[in-house]
């Protein structure tokens, strides 16, 4: 397996690097806090609610943030998604 040639930017011709981009949504973060509180309430209120509460708490931690793989130009900052 040899080295791959660097990908050139469509806009400026500079080298592009593979990286990740994190995006956040304020509305989904607020919804995540609400789901977290509901999960915490289920965790403390009912014995069977412990399972659902833990699942809701774990799910709430993922809400409001998304990470995607991109290729970003080191010179001009242009980026596009990597499939």
Whether residue 58 sits in one domain with residue 31? yes
Whether residue 59 sits in one domain with residue 32? yes
What contacts 31, CB < 8 A, 6 or more positions away?
63, 64
Q: Locate the DSSP E strands across the chain.
A: 7-8, 15-24, 65-73, 79-81
Using alpha carbons, select from 38, 42, 18, 19 the residue that is nearest to residue 30. Answer: 38
Q: Which domain holds residue 15?
A: 1-24+66-83
Whether residue 11 sits in one domain with residue 1? yes
How many structural domains are present in the chain? 2
The pTM score is: 0.56
**Contact (Cβ atoms closer than 8 angstroms) between residue 73 and residue 16:** yes
Q: Which helix (H) or strand (E) holds 66?
A: strand 65-73
- Token reading at 20: 């990740």
pLDDT in tens, 25-74: 888 888 888 888 888 888 888 777 788 888 888 888 777 778 888 898 88
């Amino acid at each position: 397996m040899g080295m791959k040639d660097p990908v050139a930017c469509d806009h400026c011709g500079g080298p592009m690097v593979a990286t990740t981009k994190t995006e956040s949504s304020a509305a989904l973060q607020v919804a995540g806090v609400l789901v977290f509180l509901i999960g915490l309430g289920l965790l403390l209120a009912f014995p069977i609610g412990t399972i659902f509460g833990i699942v809701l708490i774990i799910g709430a931690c993922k809400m409001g943030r998304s990470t995607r793989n991109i290729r970003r130009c080191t010179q001009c900052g242009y980026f596009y998604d990597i499939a």
